[in-house]
Amino acid sequence: MNTQNRQFQLPAELEAQTIIERISAQLPLGKRIEERDLLTYYDSFDWRLFGSGMELIVRRQGRKRTLQLRSQNDGGLIESLTAGTRMPVFCRDLPAGGGMRRALDGVLQMRALMPQVELRSRITTLPVLDDEEKTVARIAFERHAAREPGKGKFRDVPGRLLLLPIRGYEESFERLIGILLEAYALPPGNEGLLAAALAAIGRIAGGYSSKLDFSFQPEQPAASVAREIQLQLLATLELNLDGTKANLDSEFLHDLRVAVRRARSALTQIKGVFPATDVERFKPELAWIGQITGESRDMDVYLLDYDRYRTSLPQRLRPDLDPLHDFLQAHQKSAYRKMVRQLNSERFRRLLADWRDYLQSTSTGSDDAPAALASIAQVANKRIYRIYKRVLAEGSLINADSPAEALHELRKNCKKLRYLIEFFQSLYPKSDVQPMIRAMKQLLDNLGLFQDLEVQAEKLRHFAHQMVAEGEVPVDTLLAMGMLVDGLLRRQAEVRLDFGSSFAEFSGSENRKAFKALFAGKTEAA
């Protein structure tokens, strides 16, 4: 039975003192308390805490930091923690077994906590008293200012007046609300403080997501749609560039690479919308970005999986693996150094600039780009259906004796299909597309895992050779790695057994009918 706070906007020109005098004529008010506060909101680059309804507030107290995890809805405290002088960045930096780590682990995963906005507040609170001088409600006047964490000028955040109830004194609270609203027609305020603080510095919570979110109209010319897709992917790449170079967490590079892969797929799979010469010009350049970032990503993946590798070994052998961790860390560092040099190169800078110029230039339609002016619905239907049929054909040829390459090849086409459907989702009814994406995702997960396990096993063997070449490596470490390779290949064999059922579901008659109806219906009629 907890009555909620009531929040109102407090116009800058309305003095707290004026309101206090007005109310105290009708209700006894106690001694005012003045508080100052300075805090920073933390979240991951892609707002994972915010996305799951939480806010992390960090205050400095001398050399220590206090962390408070609050619920967005009611501001209720979920967990709190006093950290040492270093701000925890990853989940693994939080005390093991502690509540904060438990609360953040699944949400934050591999992402780093980053300061998002700094908030400075002046809060004046007055108690409303009864005849025993007991507090029966409170009034709080809040003035806030926000800035980019640690830099720049503070900018005003709209002020707020809060009425805070006290349990068991609901009547007094209602009375207070009545008195306030009778005197001032204050507009209600229901914006959260985080949202208001971000707005003051021109940002929004949840401002970045790696998910594709396009909205196209079926009649739009295909070339303009393709440009829009590419521009969005380019923006995603650019947004992740600083975090990648600084290696804030592994997800920046991951998102960057996914954006590049999607861009390459869009460039070659949305056929006929750009002149072939232009496609030929940018295709190898985008592939080059994939190459220069590949090794860093590999190292990230092994480091992310390291704990799982380690725990897959018998307890007693786990320490044997530790030299591999050192090896991975050292190689990750040098891979990143090499990559960052390339990302800072003239070639890379010029590539992004040229690509952007090209996408923003207005030229449309040319003999060389026959589909440029066709409707996107037509192009999308045709491409999706063609790739879909190719996947079906390739998949149905696969049997227990097929070489691994056949599955890898199928995965490539499946991925193309998935990207295409994701780009053009908005052209189709959600209820039709979602089940297809789900069936496809299951097949892709199976194929992906099959290939990843093989690559990982192969790579681990390669690492073993490299470690030997680089100097002393304990035999026990090599043996432990051998066990890992064995485990990976065994799992790969198991995963292969699941292929049949994943593919059967994907190629089932239900799904076939659905694909046909959605993507082939119109083109065939036309």
Partner 1 sequence: MKIIGVYNIKGGVGKTAAAVNLAHLAARAGRRTLIWDLDPQAAATFYFRVKPRIKGGSRKLLRGQRDLDRLIKGTDYANLDLLPADFSYRNMDLQLSAAKRPGLQLQRLLRQLSAEFDYLFLDCPPSISLLSENVFRAADALLIPTIPTTLSVRTYEQLQRFIQDNGIDGVKRLPFFSMVDRRKRMHLDILETMPKKFPELLATEIPYAAEIEQMGIYRQPLFGYVASGSGAASAYRALWQEVRRVI
Under the binding rule (CB under 8 A), the answer on residue 303 touching partner 1 is no
Site track for partner 1 across 124-163, x = CB under 8 A: ---x----xxxx----------------------------
In 469-478, which positions are buried (b, 16+ CB within 10 angstroms) versus exposed (e)?
eeeebeeebb
| Residue 3 Cβ vs partner 1, minimum distance, rounded to whole Å | 10
| Residue 105 Cβ vs partner 1, minimum distance, rounded to whole Å | 22
How many CB atoms are closer than 10 A to CB 125?
17
Under the binding rule (CB under 8 A), the answer on residue 167 touching partner 1 is yes
Nearer to partner 1, 140 or 197 (CB): 140
- What's the CA gap between 110 and 340, in Å, rounded? 21
Phi-psi map region of 317: left, alpha, beta (phi>0 left; psi -120 to 50 alpha)? alpha
Question: To the nearest 10°, the Cα dihedral for 463, 336, 238, 54?
Answer: 80
Nearer to partner 1, 53 or 168 (CB): 168
Which residues, 6+ apart, have CB-to-CB distance to 94 below 8 Å?
81, 88, 100, 101, 104
Under the binding rule (CB under 8 A), the answer on residue 1 touching partner 1 is yes
| Residue 165 Cβ vs partner 1, minimum distance, rounded to whole Å | 8
Nearer to partner 1, 35 or 280 (CB): 35
- What's the CA gap between 94 and 99, in Å, rounded? 9
Strand partners, 36: 122
Q: Are the C-beta atoms of 197 and 146 separated by less than 8 Å?
A: yes
- What's the CA gap between 69 and 506, in Å, rounded? 42
Out of 53, 95, 106, 168, name the contact with partner 1 by CB under 8 A. 168
| Residue 161 Cβ vs partner 1, minimum distance, rounded to whole Å | 20
| Residue 33 Cβ vs partner 1, minimum distance, rounded to whole Å | 12
Nearer to partner 1, 75 or 206 (CB): 75
Q: Are the C-beta atoms of 190 and 7 separated by less than 8 Å?
A: yes
Q: How far is CA 130 from CA 2, 11, 166, 301, 472, in A?
A: 20, 29, 12, 63, 79
Nearer to partner 1, 128 or 421 (CB): 128
Long-range pairs of 31-36 with CB within 8 A, sequence gap ≥ 24: 31/126, 31/127, 32/124, 32/125, 32/126, 33/124, 33/125, 33/126, 34/122, 34/123, 34/124, 35/121, 35/122, 35/123, 35/124, 35/125, 36/120, 36/121, 36/122, 36/123
Number of H helices, E strands in the chain: 17, 8
Give the interface segment with partner 1, choosing from 167-175, 250-258, 338-346, 516-524 (CB under 8 A).
167-175
Nearer to partner 1, 128 or 407 (CB): 128
Nearer to partner 1, 39 or 495 (CB): 39
Nearer to partner 1, 138 or 496 (CB): 138
Out of 45, 50, 169, 252, name the contact with partner 1 by CB under 8 A. 169
Under the binding rule (CB under 8 A), the answer on residue 31 touching partner 1 is no
- What's the CA gap between 388 and 255, in Å, rounded? 26
| Residue 93 Cβ vs partner 1, minimum distance, rounded to whole Å | 22
| Residue 124 Cβ vs partner 1, minimum distance, rounded to whole Å | 17
Size of site (CB under 8 A) for partner 1: 12
- What's the CA gap between 228 and 217, in Å, rounded? 12
Nearer to partner 1, 123 or 301 (CB): 123
| Residue 1 Cβ vs partner 1, minimum distance, rounded to whole Å | 6
**In the range 66-125, which residues lie near partner 1 by CB under 8 A?**
77, 80
Nearer to partner 1, 168 or 284 (CB): 168
| Residue 79 Cβ vs partner 1, minimum distance, rounded to whole Å | 10
| Residue 134 Cβ vs partner 1, minimum distance, rounded to whole Å | 4
Contacts with partner 1 by CB under 8 A lie at: 1, 77, 80, 127, 132-135, 166-169
